[in-house]
């Protein structure tokens, strides 16, 4: 209980000074490498998710083992970007991230969490060969990508 109160005080103090408190720390604490780290994470998410979409659309033959690997990758990678957005000063620089991320931090966190849970669900069905479930889970995951980009990513 005491620990929780202390943590929320620390979080409040960080927010007041322009930093954002998250449970995990990015491997980088300087803005430039943190921006690069989250961009690379998103690139890998897009590459893996894009391959799943290609299989769904029949642009590529569905392969259960490959689909499983791609979906596992997306689910794991989905946990990486958030902590790098929390790096102080990473709102400025070579980034398409909108300032709204930091002014609506808890909503942004929720949207990142939505990607994490949708991709975890996708990973449960991607290798099953059940194409209906695959389609539903891909649509749900893609919706979380788009939902966040609409509010928080510049074109």
> Does 145 belong to an annotated binding site?
yes
CB of 46 to ligand ASC, least distance (A): 4
- Binding positions for ligand ASC, 114-153, rule CB under 6 A: 142, 145-146, 149
d(CA 34, CA 153) in angstroms, rounded, equals 16
d(CA 56, CA 135) in angstroms, rounded, equals 7
Dihedral sign for Cα 151, 19, 43, 53, please: negative
The 25-64 contact track toward ligand ASC, x by CB under 6 A, reads ---------------------x--xx--x-----------
User: What φ, ψ does residue 10 adopt, rounded to 5°?
Assistant: -60, -45
> Does 79 belong to an annotated binding site?
no
Of the pair 37, 42, the CB lying nearest ligand ASC is at 42
3-state helix, strand, coil in the chain (%, to 5): 70, 0, 30
> Does 9 belong to an annotated binding site?
no
Q: What is the binding site for ligand ASC (CB under 6 A)?
A: 46, 49-50, 53, 142, 145-146, 149
């Amino acid at each position: 209980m005491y620990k929780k109160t202390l943590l929320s005080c620390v979080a409040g103090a960080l927010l007041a000074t322009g930093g954002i408190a998250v449970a995990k720390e990015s491997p980088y604490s300087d803005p430039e490498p943190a921006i690069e780290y989250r961009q690379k994470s998103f690139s890998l998410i897009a590459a893996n998710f894009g391959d799943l979409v290609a299989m769904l659309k029949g642009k590529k033959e569905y392969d259960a083992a490959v689909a499983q690997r791609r979906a596992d990758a997306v689910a794991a990678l989905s946990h990486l970007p958030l902590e790098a957005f929390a790096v102080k000063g990473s709102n400025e620089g070579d980034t398409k991230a909108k300032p709204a991320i930091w002014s609506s931090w808890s909503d942004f966190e929720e949207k990142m969490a939505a990607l994490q849970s949708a991709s975890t669900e996708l990973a449960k069905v991607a290798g099953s060969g059940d194409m209906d479930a695959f389609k539903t889970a891909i649509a749900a995951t893609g919706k979380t990508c788009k939902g966040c980009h609409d509010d928080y990513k510049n074109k």
